[in-house]
Amino acid sequence: MTSDTMSPRPRIVLDCDPGLDDAIAILTAAHFGELVGITTVNGNVGIEHTTHNALATAQIAGLDVPVHRGAARPLIAPTMDAARIHGATGLGDVTLPGLTRSVDSEDAVAFLCDTARSVDDLHLVAVGPLTNVALALRHDPDLRSRLGGLTIMGGGAHAGNVTPVAEFNVWADPEAAAIVFREAAPITMVGLDVTHKVLLGGDEAARMRSAGTPAADFAAGLLDYAYDRCREYGLDAAPVHDATAIIAVTHPHLFRSSSHPVAVELHGEHTRGMTVTDVRPAAAIAAAPAPPAHDVVWDADAQAVIDLIVEAVVNS
């Protein structure tokens, strides 16, 4: 039995801000899932770049998948980026082909809401700031009930990357994240607690390159760039956060999670953007009104996840 026959191919809409790891997540979702559509959001870099990068990734991999452009800035927070990690254009120093196609629409919110109504058991996987998802909830308050699953790469119960306690996707638009955590439970939160345990480096880039395909060479170039940035910070491998979130949807048996109330901090001088996760015993939580509970992912069979990400790239 091959790995991609181990579970049914979930129907996925990927909301993303490509982004080095977002691009690898596109390849991973297309290989192990049925990638119904891609929506783009401002995040790692501006919306023009994230949208261009999503189109370029689909083109390089020969994917016939609709791409819909989304929000150009956060709901309230100032527009920040992660270009110092992802490069000025968002895909490091990888050379991209000239685009042969454009977006299918400039209304990601309408696509998200319409597709949730028309596609059964749809898994929305959001791996960038949650601006589009929050706007979709405002447009259709019943959105969550129409989805088979809502998984985000974001947050962290006991970890941060932009600050000691805040992860970039939540930190970049905390008001949007607060809406989504409050109004779209249950979320499967694939946060830094687990993504910091799934680390790829030079060996994985070499395994990718062995495929000798344009998509594999592209992904290996992205990984090399991410790996180089991580080494500047004293790390000897790179987390591929967003692709890990995709594997959490397609191969959930490889992950360990538990249900906890989670709320997004908006006002703390030092804690804005923190996903405040209540890990106290249920009786203690029940003693007072608690935020909605979500499935917090803690651990994974890291090597199995790594091998699946490499497998997806090699077969893209």
Q: Binding residues for Ca ion, per CB under 5 A?
A: 17, 19, 22, 127-128, 242
Helix axes 20-32, 214-232, angle to 10 degrees: 140
Q: Which one of the spans 48-56, 164-172, 280-288, 290-298 is the region binding ligand RIB (CB under 6 A)?
A: 164-172
Q: Which is nearer to Ca ion, 22 or 265 (CB)?
A: 22
Nearest to Ca ion of 190, 291 (CB atom)? 190
- How far apart CA 235 and CA 139 sit, in angstroms, is 42
| Main-chain phi, psi angles of 311, to 5 degrees | -60, -45
Q: From the list Ca ion, ligand RIB, none, pick the one residue 87 interacts with, judged by a Cβ distance below 5 to 8 Å according to partner type.
A: none
Q: Which residues are catalytic?
A: 241
Is residue 150 classed as helix, strand or coil in its secondary structure? strand
* 167 contributes a contact to ligand RIB by CB under 6 A: yes
Nearest to 28, CA basis, from 271, 229, 223, 253: 223
Note whether 153 and 169 are within 8 A (CB). yes
Q: Which of 46, 87, 128, 174 binds ligand RIB (CB under 6 A)?
A: 128
Dihedrals phi, psi of 89, to nearest 5 degrees: -95, -10
* Buried/exposed code over 287-316 (b: 16+ C-beta within 10 A; e: otherwise): eeebbebbbbbeebbeebbbebbbbbbbbb
Residue nearest ligand RIB (C-beta atom): 168
For ligand RIB, the binding residue among 153, 184, 189, 297 (CB under 6 A) is 153
In whole angstroms, the minimum distance from the beta carbon of 188 to ligand RIB comes to: 15
* 173 near ligand RIB, rule: CB under 6 A: no
| Interface positions with ligand RIB (CB under 6 A) | 17, 19, 21-22, 43-44, 82, 127-128, 153, 161, 167-169, 241-242
